[in-house]
Amino acid sequence: MIWYIVRRLLQGIPVFFGSTFIIFTMVFAMPGNPVLRMFGDRTPSPQQIAALEEKFHLDQPFLSRYFLYLGDVLQGDLGTTYAGQSVNEILARTFPTTLRLALLAVLIQLIIGVLAGLISGLRKGGIFDNATLLITLVIISMPVFVFAFVAQWIFGINLGWFRPTVGAGAPWSDLILPAIVLAGLNMAYVVRLTRASVIETNQNDFVRMAYGKGLSRGRVIPVHVLRNSMIPVTTNLAADFGILIVGATVTEGIFNVPGVGNELFKAINRHDTPEIVSIVTILVIVYVLVNIAIDLLYGVLDPRIRYVK
Amino acid sequence: MRISRIAAAAGGVAVAAALVLSGCSSDNGGNGGGSASSGVVNVAWSEPENPLIPANTNEVNGGQVLNNMFAGLVYYKADGSWDYDAAESIESEDYKTWTVKLKADQKFSDGTPVNAESFVNAWQWAAADPELLNQWWFIDAIAFEGGTYDGGENTLALEVIDETTFTVELAEPRADFPVALGYTVFFPLPEVFFEDPEAFGEAPIGNGPYKLGEDGWVHGESLHLVPNETYNGPRKAQNGGLNFKVYATLDAAYADLLSDNVDIVDSVPTSALATFKDDLGDRAVEQASAVFQSFTIQPTLEGFAYDEEGKLRRAAISHAINRAEITEVIFQGTRTPAEDFTSPVIAGFDPEAVEGSEVMEFDPEKAKELWAQADAIRPWSGTFQLAYNADGGHQEWVDATVNSIKNVLGIDAVGLPYPDFAGLRTEVNDRTIKSAFRTGWQFDFPSAANILGALYVTGSGSNDADYSNPEFDKLFRAGLAAIDQDEQSDLFNQSQKYLFEDLPAIPLWYGSVTAGYSTLVDNVEFGWDSWPILHEITKG
Amino acid sequence: MSSKNPVRTAPHFVAEVDEGGLGAVDAVRVSDRKSNLWLDAWRDLRSRWMFWVSAVVIAFIVFVAFFPGVFTDVPPNSNCILSIQNEQQAEEFGLPIGTRVSDHGPIPGHPLGFTKQGCDVFSRIVHGTSTSLSVGVIVTVLVAFMGIVIGAFAGYFGGWIDSLLMRLGDIFFAIPYILAAVVIMSMFLHDRNIWVISLAIGFFSWPSTARILRSEVLRVRNLDYVMASEAIGLSKVRTMFTHVLPNSIAPVIIISTVGLAGAITAEATLSFLGVGLPNNLFMSWGNDISAAQTSLRTAPFTLIYPSIALSITVLAFIMLGETVRDALDPKARATR
């Protein structure tokens, strides 16, 4: 187990170099000179272009730019945006908000999804089962921005239950609506997984045994059925959490959430190489760590899985 | 050209946050006037792209803040006229050498005096560094020691006479020089700036009606200004301070405006253009602004050189665009079809005095006829493409414009979105773009010289269409040096005749301010430059 | 698998990997030679209404994509006018001069009304079908191909190849699709077409397919017939293609139908973010939905109709995926 963790963490090192290199290459491949963008519709003089390209190392060949960047990063400095802001600060500012949003979304999935899945599983083939299936499928068949706009329009503007956009300081209450939207995208899977494993668990001997002992449904379902059905659901939720903390560009944009996805979109529009590469690299690393945690979670939840040395 | 918020911000999505701030603040900042209010005005805003240094700020967000933190030699009134702010007088005998006298006893908010050196040193510093986005202003306007800029060490021809007097020598005579001096780049800088420009960019110290509040600039959230008690100029703050709140989208800002969570939104989102007057009633603002929209065709594009064929085709395209219909339907009447190459809010605007502007009338028959004549010279093949940056909200009018051209001329015409602005400008700059492309100009200072000089004079910085017409240049230069305002306007208007003949850019429409304010504020007025005049607003 | 058939289980020389119903996959039938996983699945599918509904809808959509002319003779992208300007147009549309066609509701001959640009909504939806469908299919094939190849190699060869490919997968998966899309769409700026946008969507989506295939391969690799195949001297690569892959592919087919649906929505989302296909050159539902954003309050139908078309298509593929999953997964069938 320890060896497994150490080995996975050691693999993080090549992942770090690989991802910085791949992302750097991608940003480098984007046509267009970020310097010209800074002047809007005005054309800067050749001296100005040259001076700014030098300032941002844009005049250097690919590899030396990469190593210049890497040198900074290895000293703990994620670089400075073209606008002169520290990327460390930007991440410190945006990441907590995205993290809170992701947590909230997962929590909503856990409560609503598992509950709906449990009822569906216990009464499979019933009206509730079929209705739940249909609703969740309809939600995932909509592009996220349509779903987000519809939710914002109905619950934010027409009914006024929530603020249509996230307000000052991104309080939890404002994050609920975007979290519901994000949760909706994965809800179908949570419901289906819960339902399937509830059905499977229900047929196990120990459940029949529990009923046979004369225990009430109110005791058997939460203690025996649900607990044993949670393994696939938990890992699915953990995986979704991993995806969500990488930032939900569209949802964050529509609801004005000051998170990572939003900041990254802005950086991409600016061709801000240091900012893009640093943010994405951090996201990759976070994602890899979450994945390791998920794999470990499997083992904790399901003792049948053993880790190879 | 200031980079407008719309051009710079991502179309639908970008970052934002907002800081908790109560509607009212007890901090009265020492306002003297009896009519002053104490409320802090919340202004919808986006994060500036650069540090807050006058010479390095060329977009509206940073510009708005600096404009309220600094007092230049002159300032602009709502109608586009100017008056002295920090200066007592700006005079010249030959319009080449100007003598600037400052008002006495002015101070920066850190207590240091505002003197001739504050201006001269700031300008010299800015002119010497090509990394600064606004450096070109000095190169274009002011003479250098020994003549012109050599790209390196030489300094501006400025001379400090005494504590409150300095002289400026221009590259060529300009009667309207004082007008330009209200622009951000000409603001003075205190001594502390030169010790650490970087730190200054985060927390500027100015001589204007406001200074940075205690919370200062919280990146990604807000920027807080409080009235500056040391300011004694004409733009005294009438409120308890300004809180610039960062919004990612105009939609988000507008939603907050409807619920009074923000007081000033200087641009209504496209989705609300049809409804904002109903939503806001008399709190809706719609007025002409100094924005000129056009598209440009480089002469390297096949069929569009400045020859007989190219001129015919340019004129045919122009006649084929139904500007009135597009501004009415797509922009809900919030744009006005262009009648010249400047703007209605600019002094001397007089479409009657401009010859040749009938080329902008929608005339399908004429358009077809001219196109056919061009085809007779050389047949047309291919697709007329109009490029735009997809992140700037231009798709609707571009689509409507190309549809109009397509329907009238019967040729293939399509809009060509570039994923980002940098990609588009790079091809424009390298002259490799293979299509027409959208261009726009937001005036930096209220004079026709600003746009005509920057875009169409031979060899000028932003002459993307490589336009060169000696006749136009001659009239423009004569206008620049004209002593009398009327004479200058007259010459500028005459010069546009050549622009309409050659159409280096095809004018489309003038922009408008479409803005709104909350129920909590009064005295809201928008200036010629589309900016709300923030120091006049009262609240609470 | 009906329990009536006698089943002979091959003796195991290694510990059984899966103690659940999945072990049934390596059961070998002797009596019924026609019975295999795929045939059983087909029998199972035939009896499901959800399968038939989705199959009919998909067949219809494919027909529309190939023959849009059957459904509308209004051109989708020409003769778009903002308002009625002259007698000729007034007669053609049956509307008085000066009427706004932009965002106008239905009139005879134009059953779903007009977009903001004055184009026929119905015609644009019909003609947009092929774009959305093509993107879905191309992306699915691309993702399945990359996922299968990479997943198979990782799973079958294991060791450092496995680690390398899976970590590469982590990187690719964590790279935000918006970055990938902007980069690829800008690189092919002047040749943007359905192939390019499919590449933009698909090129970074293979890791999840690869991961699933890898775990299937890991399972199948330890089964007896694979060992037998290697024992009789077949090369590793040959074994992989003849024995391992065919027995690992079922989950990929399931995930692909859902992925196809996902690709169609992804095209729409990229349009929304401003990095989709040029909207004047390509009719696509995504373009229409994203262009209708600004009319949401004044003419919501311009957004709703293409959204419905997209949702029905996506729903059909998701339902197909659901039924195929149930049919292919013996465990799910057993517990249904």
Residue-wise pLDDT for C180-235, tens only, equals: 888 888 888 888 889 999 999 998 888 888 888 888 888 777 777 777 877 887 78
Which of C170, C288, C295 to probe by mutation at the A interface, max A CB count within 10 Å? C170
Nearest by Cα to B423 from C188, C267, A55, A263: C188
**pLDDT interval class at C2 (50, 70, 90):** very low
Q: Does A45 touch chain B (CB under 8 A)?
A: yes
Using a 10 angstrom Cβ sphere, with 0-12 exposed, 13-18 middle and 19 or more buried, the burial of residue A301 is middle
Instruction: Return the axis-axis angle of helices C159-174 and A2-29, rounded to nearest 10°.
Output: 50
Which two tokens mark C162?
């496995």
Collapsing DSSP states into helix, strand and coil, what is residue C8?
Answer: strand
**pLDDT interval class at C331 (50, 70, 90):** low
Domain boundaries, chain B: 291-512
In contact, C244 and C221? CB cutoff 8 Å: yes
Chain segment A244-257, per-residue pLDDT in tens: 877 688 888 888 88
**pLDDT interval class at C33 (50, 70, 90):** very low
| CA B425 centroid distance within chain | 18
DSSP conformation class of A155: I
Using a 10 angstrom Cβ sphere, with 0-12 exposed, 13-18 middle and 19 or more buried, the burial of residue A122 is middle
Mean pLDDT of chain C: 80
Taken as a whole, chain A contains a residue count of 309
Weakest-pLDDT range from A98-102, B202-206, B405-409, C68-72: C68-72
- Chain B: residue whose CA lies nearest to C179: B419
Higher pLDDT, C41 or B372: B372
Task: Quote the pLDDT of residue B150.
Answer: 66
pLDDT at residue C7 tops 60: no
**pLDDT interval class at C36 (50, 70, 90):** low
- Average of per-residue pLDDT across C92-107: 85
Higher pLDDT, B502 or B17: B502
Collapsing DSSP states into helix, strand and coil, what is residue B227?
Answer: strand
pLDDT at residue B296 tops 80: yes
**pLDDT interval class at C34 (50, 70, 90):** low
- Chain A: residue whose CA lies nearest to C294: A149
Percent of chain C past pLDDT 70, that is, above it, reads 87
In contact, C305 and C23? CB cutoff 8 Å: no
Chain C residue set in contact with A, beta carbons under 8 Å = 19, 163, 167-168, 170-176, 178-180, 182-183, 186-187, 189, 261, 265, 268-269, 272-273, 286, 289-290, 293, 296, 303, 307, 310-312, 314-315, 318-319, 322, 331-332, 335
User: Kind and range of the H or E element at A275?
Assistant: helix A273-301
What does each C-alpha distance from B145 to B158, B212, B423 come to in angstroms?
8, 36, 38
Chain A residue set in contact with C, beta carbons under 8 Å = 11, 14-15, 18-19, 22-23, 26-27, 29-32, 137-138, 140-146, 149, 153, 196, 199-200, 203, 246-247, 249-250, 261, 264-265, 268, 276, 280, 283-284, 287-288, 291, 304
Distance from CA of A96 to the nearest CA of B (A): 13
A33 contacts on B by Cβ (under 8 Å): 422, 425-426, 429
pLDDT at residue B190 tops 90: yes
Task: Quote the pLDDT of residue B253.
Answer: 87
C-alpha–C-alpha distance, residues B200 and B53, integer Å: 7
Strands (E), chain C: 7-8, 28-29
DSSP conformation class of B535: G
Distance from CA of B11 to the nearest CA of C (A): 8
Phi first, then psi, for residue B172 (nearest 5°) are -145, 155
Task: Quote the pLDDT of residue A306.
Answer: 52
Strands (E), B53-125: 74-76, 82-84, 87-92, 97-102
Task: Quote the pLDDT of residue A168.
Answer: 64
Pairing state of beta strands B383-389 and B436-442? parallel
Of the candidates A19, A268, A284, the beta carbon closest to that of C178 is on A268
- B291-512 fold: Dipeptide-binding Protein; domain 3 (3.10.105)
User: Kind and range of the H or E element at C230?
Assistant: helix C224-231
* Whether ipTM exceeds 0.95: no
Chain segment A82-118, per-residue pLDDT in tens: 877 788 888 888 888 899 999 999 999 989 988 898 8
- Average of per-residue pLDDT across A242-270: 83
Mean pLDDT of chain B: 86
- Chain B: residue whose CA lies nearest to A30: B423
Task: Quote the pLDDT of residue B305.
Answer: 92
For the beta carbon of residue A4, count every other beta carbon within 10 angstroms: 16
Chain segment B411-449, per-residue pLDDT in tens: 999 899 888 888 888 888 888 898 999 998 888 888 888
- Average of per-residue pLDDT across B285-301: 91
Assessment of whether the complete model's pTM goes beyond 0.90: no
- Among A177-186, B348-357, B402-411, the range of highest mean pLDDT: B402-411
Distance from CA of C89 to the nearest CA of A (A): 34
The CA-based diameter of chain C, rounded to the nearest angstrom, is: 87
Which of A24, A135, A142 to probe by mutation at the C interface, max C CB count within 10 Å? A142
- Average of per-residue pLDDT across C138-142: 94
B395 contacts on C by Cβ (under 8 Å): 279, 291
Give per-residue burial for A38-50: e unless 16+ CB within 10 Å, then b: bbbbbbbbebbbb
Task: Quote the pLDDT of residue B359.
Answer: 92
Using the structure block, give the residue that is written with the tokens 């569906």.
A120
Task: Quote the pLDDT of residue C330.
Answer: 57
Chain segment B5-59, per-residue pLDDT in tens: 333 333 222 222 222 222 333 333 333 444 468 899 999 998 887 889 998 888 8
pLDDT at residue C289 tops 50: yes
In contact, B291 and B266? CB cutoff 8 Å: no
C-alpha–C-alpha distance, residues B42 and B516, integer Å: 12
C-alpha–C-alpha distance, residues A156 and A151, integer Å: 7
pLDDT at residue B3 tops 90: no
C-alpha–C-alpha distance, residues B448 and B446, integer Å: 7
Pairing state of beta strands B505-517 and B264-265? antiparallel
Beta bridge partners of B24: B39
B326 and C82: CB-CB below 8 Å?
A: yes
Tell me which chains share at least 3 CB pairs under 8 Å with chain C.
A, B
Which of A39, A41, A94, A250 to probe by mutation at the B interface, max B CB count within 10 Å? A41
Of the candidates C167, C183, C312, the beta carbon closest to that of A15 is on C167
Task: Quote the pLDDT of residue B244.
Answer: 94
Weakest-pLDDT range from B13-17, B237-241, B470-474: B13-17
Give per-residue burial for B286-312: e unless 16+ CB within 10 Å, then b: bbbbbbbbbbbbbbebebbebeebbbb
Distance from CA of C79 to the nearest CA of B (A): 6
Using a 10 angstrom Cβ sphere, with 0-12 exposed, 13-18 middle and 19 or more buried, the burial of residue B520 is middle
Distance from CA of B404 to the nearest CA of C (A): 8
Distance from CA of B295 to the nearest CA of C (A): 18
**pLDDT interval class at B371 (50, 70, 90):** very high
Weakest-pLDDT range from A78-87, B62-71, C151-160: A78-87
What's the order of all strands across the beta sheet hosting B158-162? B87-92, B97-102, B165-169, B158-162
Amino acid sitting at position B292: F
**pLDDT interval class at B228 (50, 70, 90):** very high
C-alpha–C-alpha distance, residues C55 and C48, integer Å: 11
